[in-house]
Structure 1
Amino acid sequence: MSDLLPFGHVGYEAFLVFLSFVYTAKVRDFPVEVSSCVHNVCGHEACRPAIEFSLELMCASSVFGMPDLVSILQRQLIDFVVKALADDVIPILVVAFHCQLSQLIDQCIERVAHSDLDSISLEKALPDEVVEKIKILRRNSQHCCDPNMPAVDPLREKRIRRIHKALDSDDVELMKLLLTESDVTLDEANALHYAAAYCDPKVVAEVLGLGLADVNLRDSRGYTVLHIAVKRKEPSIIILLLSNGARASEPTLEGESAVSICRRLTRPKDYHTKTEQGQEANKDQICIDVLEREMKRNPMAGEASISSQITPNDLHMRLLKLENRVAFARLLFPAEAKLAMAISQADTTPEFAGISSLKGSSGNLMEVDLNETPTVQNKRLLSRLESLVKTVSMGRHYFPHCSEVLDKFLQVDLPDLCVLETGTTDEQKIKRQRFLELKEEVQKAFDKDKADKNLSGLSSSSSSLPPKKVGRKSKVEYEWISKAFGPKRKTGISNAYLAYKTGICCENAKRTRTDG
């Protein structure tokens, strides 16, 4: 369908409803799991999922020339325009424009023109000719209501737009230069709102890093930066804002919290989707779960500083322990670990690879980089340690269940990995079987804990450890834990140590055991 449509999107469920109309000339009931939201007090008369499902059907019926269905859907969408929030009218207007539905276009333009939607949002989402019609209607309306209304300062507007264009180009340095050359501040330009809505998460982090913007500032519509970010449903930006002091409980002028906004945008199908082992968790699940947890707890305590007086041996052991933990987190909970590492900037520091930092090093503990002074090496390792500590702290704060499962896995399961390859073939088989049983026990405890606390937000990539298997498949299931640490990944002592601990018979692991 996507290849056949010049615009829009048609999902599987919408295609079935469309196909049913083709054969029966009747519109069947819309599937609740894709035409409603997960907000517990929403009547689903005009929430975003209900609108988007109708728009999917409109795209298909318009392109394939089904005028009867187009007429039915247009009447429904006109009803949505009256009831929906102004933001939700924008996607209706876009589809109406492409489908050339003049009556629906006029209704949408009238509604948007009399709303509080800012011109920047309109220009980002709508065709130029539609934006121009809205602006003309607004000017005429303002002149009739108050002919003495002061005009907008064009020079100030131009400077603000230049700041936004710098953000569009991911050029924070240019933005800083523009700020120094004008009397416009970051808050006056709503630069953080703009970055949260349209820019890469790294740009949001850089703007926050300047320390010049109020993370809880409200724009002209009464929205904080977090309110804007949840509409985008990008978990990394949401966690970034929360970790920098954004208040999750702050309501909009209509009384909506960030989590309620996010719930009104999320379909049950997406929210309740279960992911298989190794797959990334659904973004909708993560966003809602993070926001709900933040609403229930106090802000995270400040990070403990790491003493530069720590001994080299202790430093290496702590680094090795944290590297192992983060490595297993990335394997068991890829989406959650990726988020925690990104916010903590752990992916920007070099991975600890024993004493040697030489490229292509096999990870031998006896190798030393003679070009690196002890002071430089200590600074590099402390920087890595700080980022890993922050990663683990971030994971415990925003993903407590995942961290709890990981704690149990490292404390109960991992020690058995050291002896899985010892003993006779039958003994090794029994140990592997016990290894799988332990993982099942951890999973059951995790599920029970979730049920007790009635927290179903993160049914996670985290939520599927491998099922219990017997016979030859036991080894296959066992090896999922160590596939990331094979001999092809020569990233140093950390991974070699893990390879040895997980029983992989590779030269790198044997060498590490001998030299260490």
Structure 2
Amino acid sequence: MANLAEPSNSSLGFASSSSYASNGSIAVEAAAAAAAEGGSSLEVVSLSRLSCNLERLLINSDFDCTDADIFVDGVAVGVHRCILAARSEFFHNLFSHAAAAGERKGEGRRPKFNLDDFVPSGRVGKEAFMVLLSYLYTGKMKAAPPEVSTCVEALCAHEACRPAVNFVIQLMYASSVFKISELVSLFQRRLLNFVEKTLVEDVIPIVVVAFHLDLCQLQSHCIQRVARSDLDSIALEKEIPPKVIDEIKSISRNFQPCKVNDSMMDPIHERGIKRIHRALDSDDVELVKLLLSESSVTLDDAYALHYAVAYCDSKVVAEVLELGLANVNLKNGRGYTPLHVAAMRQEPTVIVSLLTKGASISETTRHGQSAVSICRSRTTTKDYYEKTEQGQESNKDRLCIDILERELRRNPLTEDDAVTSPLLADELHMKLLYLENRVAFARLFFPSEAKLAMKIAQADSTLEFAGLFKSRSSSNLREVDLNETPTMQNKRLRSRVDALTRTVELGRRYFPHCSQVLDKLMEDDFPDLFYLQKGTQDQQKIKRMRFCELKEDVRKAFSKDKAENGRSGISSSPSVI
């Protein structure tokens, strides 16, 4: 994401944004005087030093002189009431009323507040709150923390991905609540910039914040973008405030008069679709079955599976799938399959239910997005890389990506599916790299067995990919041959993927215990474990210990497979380098 404001060391002005903050006028007058004297006066130096000192006061935990707590995401953030009261009318009124109430009750305790109580129509996370707090203390606008404002999609420029949009929306809610008018203006410009860059489904939360905060210019811009899009009426009715929908539909007829003309749809057919949706809203799949028996409307006509995946409980999705009446890979008017919708929702149970019933991991939207890339582009770096303590529930966003990526590695793409977009091609190469490295490890630990499996699967006759153990000078499947058509390249890639997949399947069949060791290696230790000379001395020592443990695991697994298969002629013991 681009810098949230101007360069991170710039100042938007130290004075408070409201007319109330006469206390901050000293800073404004000092800045004006400094400007009149060429910007080198004592006031400028003093003001800059004051800003730095207040920032140190905010971040210095060694000497805590805070006198109130504001809870954000369940974590207490200590604040100085005198500073916030001088900088914001909102905090001045909040602390004054709290102090008066405490005096009436005879309380002398440290005041505590919950940020969620101040922002009923939106959410403000801790990172966004700290950015706003830093501005109130120092008068300087920090750049957005990348861990919460960038996604984990490798091909994303992070200029308008969902985490970038969501972070500015949080800042907008906080700025409006705290009555910091200059920041409201700044973030409105940021959101206006997002409207034309981001996908239309990511414009919806911008419409919502514009509506709740009465940001007319931003709301009008969003309405124009949505009206020009192919966003369906169901999404409008479910996700956008009703007062905005009529205006969107009115403008939409001007942009696309042939697109959505509700009068052209058979009223009986339309009524049947709405009844199915209402039944799903009520979690009543039995009623859905009854409606299907009494009407000519099918689940696919109503895009009922898409609807359930987007808006219903995961249990309802599973029950709809059990009916066996919906096409699990049906694309709606926007080119989304139910799995694409599930990736947007980021609910692991729903994703697993769809995959279990045959949802295709390789399908792409009109924009060339797969389910995996959709999920990655909506997951923040923080959520993806955040460590989960033992016994704690895994992050849902990370879990969704893991499930989809495992499915991508598990199922080779069909021969008829062409790699038509860079995103899908990248996923194919990711799968190929995983398989190459996995087979390379098998050849390292079980050379004879791996060689035999590759020969049976005919993997040794296909062109090798430059994987973990290959040098840059070796053959690389990603190199471009100008005489090779995309179809020929596609077949060449897939033939290698299919051959290596068969190799892995043979290994699982005849050497299940060894395969389990490789699975754990790929998930937990790959690839850093084999670079024993990297890291500090302590890290190298840990790696060597782990490598010795791994060798022992390999020997035990091989012995178990050998005993179960009754083999002795293939290899007397695994050869571990």
TM-score exceeds 0.5: yes
Counterparts in 2 of 1:263 and 1:146: CA distance versus 1, 3 Å: closer
Question: Does residue 1:286 correspond to 2:399, yes or no?
Answer: yes
**Structure 1 445/193 Cα, relative in aligned 2: closer, same or farther at 3 Å?**
closer
Corresponding pairs, count: 322
Q: Is this contact kept in 1: 2:375–2:400, CA < 8 A? A: yes
Instruction: State the alpha-carbon separation in 2 of the partners of residues 81 and 261 from structure 1.
Output: 18
The answer for the alignment partner of 2:142 in structure 1 is 28
Q: CA deviation at 1:63?
A: 1.0
Distance verdict in 2 for CA 1:232–1:28, change over 3 Å: same
Which of 174, 177, 186 is the matching residue for 1:60? 174
Give 1:149 deviation, angstroms: 10
Q: Deviations over 1:411-445 (max 9, x none)?
A: xxxxxxxxxxxxxxxxxxxxxxxxxxxxxxx9999
The gaps in structure 2 that reach 5 residues or longer are: 1-114, 413-504, 532-577
Partner of 1:243: 356
Question: 1:99: which partner in 2?
Answer: 213
Q: Which residue of 1 aligns with 2:375?
A: 262
What whole-Å deviation, never above 9, does each CA across 1:207-233 have from its counterpart, x for those lacking one?
111111110000011100100011110
**Aligned CA distance change for structure 1 residues 70 and 149 (closer, same or farther; 3 Å):** closer
In the alignment, the residues of structure 2 paired with residue 60 and residue 81 of structure 1 have an alpha-carbon distance, to the nearest angstrom, of 20
The answer on whether the counterparts of 2:253 and 2:259 sit within 8 Å (CA) in structure 1 is no
* Inter-CA distance 40–147: structure 2 relative to 1 (3 Å threshold): closer
Query: Match for residue 217 of structure 1?
Result: 330
The answer to whether the aligner puts 1:117 opposite 2:231 as a matched pair is yes
The answer to whether the aligner puts 1:297 opposite 2:410 as a matched pair is: yes
Deviation per CA, 1:447-482: give whole Å up to 9, x if none: 32475699xxxxxxxxxxxxxxxxxxxxxxxxxxxx
Q: Which amino acid aligns with 1:126?
A: I
Aligned pair in 2 of structure 1 residues 229, 39: CA closer, same or farther (>3 Å)?
Answer: same
More contact order relative to length (CA 8 Å, sep ≥ 6): 1
Could you say which residue in structure 1 is the equivalent of 2:319? 206
Note if 1:159 corresponds to 2:272: yes
User: 1:17 is matched by which residue type in structure 2?
Assistant: V
Q: Does the C-alpha gap of structure 1 residues 178 and 452 become closer, same or farther in structure 2, counting only changes over 3 Å?
A: farther
Identity rate, percent: 58
**Separation in structure 1 between the aligned mates of residue 255 and residue 332 of structure 2, nearest angstrom:** 23
Matched to 2:278, the amino acid is K
In the superposition, relative to structure 1, how do residues 150 and 404 fare at CA in structure 2: closer, same or farther (>3 Å)? farther
In structure 1, runs of 5+ residues without a counterpart are: 300-396, 409-441, 455-516
Whole-angstrom distance in 2 between the partners of 1:245 and 1:148: 34
Equivalent residue letter for 1:133? E
Deviation at 1:202, TM superposition (A): 1.2
Partner of 1:184, secondary structure, is coil
Gap change, CA 1:169 and 1:453, over 3 Å in 2: farther
- What is the Cα deviation at residue 6 of structure 1? 2.4
CA distance in 2, matches of 1:154, 1:63: 45
> Do the aligned partners of residues 87 and 79 (structure 1) sit closer, same or farther apart at CA in structure 2, a change above 3 Å counting?
same
Deviation at 1:82, TM superposition (A): 1.0
How far the C-alpha of 1:131 sits from its partner, in A, is: 0.9
Give the drift of 1:404.
8.5
* Worse-superposed segment, 17-26 or 255-264: 17-26
Runs of 4 or more above 6 Å deviation: 145-150, 442-446
Give secondary structure in 1 for the equivalent of 2:391: coil
Pair 1:132 & 2:132 matched: no
Change (3 A) 1:148 1:175: closer
Give the SS at the match of 2:331: coil
SS at structure 2 position matched to 1:2: helix
The alignment's TM-score, normalised by the length of structure 2, stands at: 0.52
Please report the RMSD computed on the Cα atoms of aligned residues, expressed in angstroms. Answer: 3.1
For the Cα contact (< 8 Å) 2:272–2:297, is it kept in 1? yes
| 1:86-485 aligned within 5 A | 86-143=200-257, 151-298=264-411, 447-449=524-526, 451=528
Letter in 1 for 2:156: C
2:264 alignment partner, SS class:
coil
* Bigger Cα Rg: 2
For residues 231 and 86 of structure 1, the distance between their equivalents in structure 2, rounded to whole angstroms, comes to 13
**1:296: Cα distance to partner?**
1.3
1:29-48 alignment to 2 at 5 Å?
29-48=143-162
TM-score, scaled to structure 1 = 0.58
Post-superposition offset of 1:148: 10
Cα gap change, 1:155 to 1:212, in 2 (>3 Å): same
- In 2 relative to 1, CA 177–91 (structure 1 residues): closer, same or farther, beyond 3 Å? same
